[in-house]
Structure 1
Amino acid sequence: MVDFEWYRSFIAIYKHNSVSEAAKSRIMTQPAMSQHLASLEAEVGEQLFSRAKRRLTPTERGKQLYSQLAPLIESLEEATMELKSPLPPTLKVMRVGASPAMFIERILKQLSRPDLSIISHLGTADELLELLKEDRVDLILTSKKFLSPGIEYVRFIDESFVVVAPAGTEVPNTVKLKEREQWLSEQRWISYGLELPIIRRYWREHFKKRPLINPVHIIPSLHLILCAIEEGAGLSLLPTYILEHFKQNEQRWEIVFPDMLIHNELLIGYKSKNKHSLEITEFMKTIKLV
C-alpha cells in the first residue's frame, strides 16, 4: 500500500533534483527521504530518477507520475490550509510576491480593504519566481520574464529610471555623450545588486558599451538607496515613481541628465492553471489602477 508521504517526498525531490535538498525542504533526514523514494519506485516497478553525480534527473516515468500527482497534492494541501485558516469564509486570501519597493507602491494600499487578507513575500525576481513555481504565492510583480512551463505573464506598468545624485552635486553642463559617460564613470555609485542590471542597461542604451564601474555600496532597497543618496553616499538609478513620493521643499537629491531616461516593463506573473481565477483577475485589475 502506498504511503501518502512517499508522494510528497517524490514531489519535493522532483522540484529540487536532489534528495538532500528535498529532505531539508520537508525537514526530514536524508536517509528517510531516500527510503521514501526507494519504496515508491518499488511500488511503481520502475526508476523515477536517473542518478548522475549529485543531481537527479526525472525519467520519463518520473515525469509522467509528477504530472499526475502534482495537481492532486497541491489541491489537498490547499484544502488543508483552508481548514486550518481562522479567517472568515467571506475574507479572500491573496498570496503576493513583490520587491519591497513595489510592495510599498502597489500592495500597501490594498491592506485596508475589509474583504481581503494579503500574505506577502518580498524578494528579488529570481526568488519570487521560485515562490511561484512552488505555489507559495498566487502571483508575483516582477521585472523579469522567465520562460518556465506553466507560468504566464501580463504587462503591469512601465517604469522610467533616471540618475539621481545628492543635491548640489556639480554636474557638467554638456550634451556630449563621451563627456557625460566619463563624468558618470568617475562618481561613487550605489547599486541594488552586484550584477548592476539596470546600470548595465543604462550604459548600453546611451553609451553603447558596458560600464567600467564598481559600486561603492550595495543596498537591495530602492527606497533606502534614495535615503543613502540624500546622505551624500553616492548616486544611483531610481524609478521616477519613487521620486514623485519624496518631492519636498528642501529636496536633498536631484536628477542628473534628465533627458537620459531608460524604460523598464514590469509584469505580473501567475500559474497558467489560475488564468481564469476570478479572485486573481480582480486583484490584478485593482493594483493596475492604483
Structure 2
Amino acid sequence: MVDFEWYRSFISIYKHRSVSEAAKTRLMTQPAMSQHLAALEAELGEKLFTRTTRKMVPTEKGKELYTQVVPLIEALEETTQKFKMDTSLTIPMVKIGTAHEYFRENLAPHLGKFPFRINATFGIASDILELLIEEKLDMIIMSKKMPAPGIEYIHYVQEEFVLVAPYHFKEIDIEDTERFEAWLCSQDWISYGSDLPIIRRFWREHFKKRPHMQIKHVLPDLHSILTAIEHGEGISALPSYMLEKSLHNQHVKIIYPSFRVSNELYLAYHIKFRNFPMIKSVSEALKKNICNSHDKM
C-alpha cells in the first residue's frame, strides 16, 4: 500500500532537486527521505529520478507523476485545513504561541473582539518556534526572525522599551555623557536575563558600547520586574504597553523619556499556509486590535 508521506517526500525532492534539501524542508533525516523515495519507486516499478553527483534529475516518469500528483496533494492539504477551520461547524480555533507577558497585556484584553477562539501557548522564542515547525501551533508572535525551513515571518508591530524607576527615584541632569553613563551603571538594575537582552540594546543604541554593571536581580518575568520596581528595588527597561496602571497610580515613573529603544515583533507561520483565509484573517485581526490598543495609550 502506498503511504501518503511517500508522495510528499517525492514532491519535495522534485522541487529541491536534492534529497538533503528536501529532508531539511520536511524536517526529516536524509536516510528517511531516501527510504520514502525508494519505497515509492518500488511500489510503482519505475525510477523517478536519475541520481547525479550534484542533483536529482527527474525521469520522464518522474515528471509525469509530479504533474499528476501535485494538484491532488495540494487540494488534499487545503481541504484538510479548511475542514479544521470550517466556520459553518464552529468558530475556528487558532493555536497561538507567544511570551506570557505579551499575551497578558495585548491579547487577553481583546479576546472577545477576535472572530476566532484562541488556544494559547506561552514560552521563549526557540520553544514556540519548534512547536510551530512541528505544526502544533498555527502561528507565533516573537521578537526575532529565527531561520527555520518552511517558516515565513511578517512584521507585526513595533514595541517601545523605556527606562522605569520607582516614583520617588531621584534623577540627575544629563551634562556629560560619560558621567551620565557611569551614574546609570551605579544604579540597582533588574534584568530580564543574565545576558541583559534589552538593557544591552539600550546601551548600544545610546552609548555605542556594551554595558558594564552589576545586576542586582535577574527575574525572568516582566511583571515581576515591574512589581519589584514599584517597591523600590531598582530600575529597568520595560515595554511601555505594560506601564499604564502603574504610572496612573504613581507607583513608577519613566526616567529620561528620550532614552528608549524600539523592538520589532513578527508573526510567523508555515509558508504553505500563507494564502489560507485563516492565516490572513488572524493576521489582520491581531494587527487591528494591537494598533487600536497602542493608539489609546
Q: Are residues 197 and 140 of structure 1, via their aligned partners in 2, closer, same or farther at CA, if it must alter by over 3 Å?
A: same
Match of 2:282 in 1: 283
Could you list the per-position Cα deviations for residues 78-132 of structure 1 after superposition, in whole angstroms to 9, with x for gaps in the alignment?
969x78x9x9822111111111122123321343258522110111222222121
Match of 2:133 in 1: 133
Contact 1:90 1:115 in 2 (8 A): no
Contact 1:106 1:287 in 2 (8 A): no
Match of 1:261 in 2: 260
- Structure 1 regions of 5+ residues with no counterpart? 18-35, 46-59, 62-67
Contact 2:97 2:140 in 1 (8 A): yes
After TM superposition, what 4+ stretches of structure 1 lie above 4 angstroms from structure 2?
1-7, 14-17, 39-45
Aligned pairs, number:
253
Match of 1:232 in 2: 232
What is the identity, as a one-letter code, of the residue corresponding to 1:205? E
**CA positional deviation for 1:2:** 7.8
Once residues 224 and 252 of structure 1 are traced to their aligned partners in structure 2, the CA distance between those partners, rounded to angstroms, is 14
- TM-score, normalised to structure 1's length? 0.70
- Structure 2 regions of 5+ residues with no counterpart? 8-22, 42-54, 57-68, 290-297
**CA positional deviation for 1:44:** 7.6
Match of 1:119 in 2: 119
Once residues 175 and 285 of structure 2 are traced to their aligned partners in structure 1, the CA distance between those partners, rounded to angstroms, is 42
**CA positional deviation for 1:228:** 1.3
Contact 1:162 1:258 in 2 (8 A): yes
Match of 2:272 in 1: 273
Could you list the per-position Cα deviations for residues 155-184 of structure 1 after superposition, in whole angstroms to 9, with x for gaps in the alignment?
111111111111212222224221221111
RMSD: 4.0
Map 1:109-258 to 2 at 5 A.
Answer: 109-113=109-113, 116-249=116-249, 251-258=250-257
Contact 1:152 1:272 in 2 (8 A): yes
Once residues 28 and 228 of structure 2 are traced to their aligned partners in structure 1, the CA distance between those partners, rounded to angstroms, is 38
Once residues 243 and 113 of structure 2 are traced to their aligned partners in structure 1, the CA distance between those partners, rounded to angstroms, is 26
The percentage of aligned residue pairs carrying the same residue is 38
Once residues 153 and 88 of structure 1 are traced to their aligned partners in structure 2, the CA distance between those partners, rounded to angstroms, is 29
Contact 2:5 2:36 in 1 (8 A): no
Once residues 271 and 171 of structure 1 are traced to their aligned partners in structure 2, the CA distance between those partners, rounded to angstroms, is 48
Q: Are residues 44 and 218 of structure 1, via their aligned partners in 2, closer, same or farther at CA, if it must alter by over 3 Å?
A: farther
Q: Are residues 226 and 16 of structure 1, via their aligned partners in 2, closer, same or farther at CA, if it must alter by over 3 Å?
A: farther
Once residues 110 and 219 of structure 1 are traced to their aligned partners in structure 2, the CA distance between those partners, rounded to angstroms, is 27
Once residues 185 and 162 of structure 2 are traced to their aligned partners in structure 1, the CA distance between those partners, rounded to angstroms, is 15
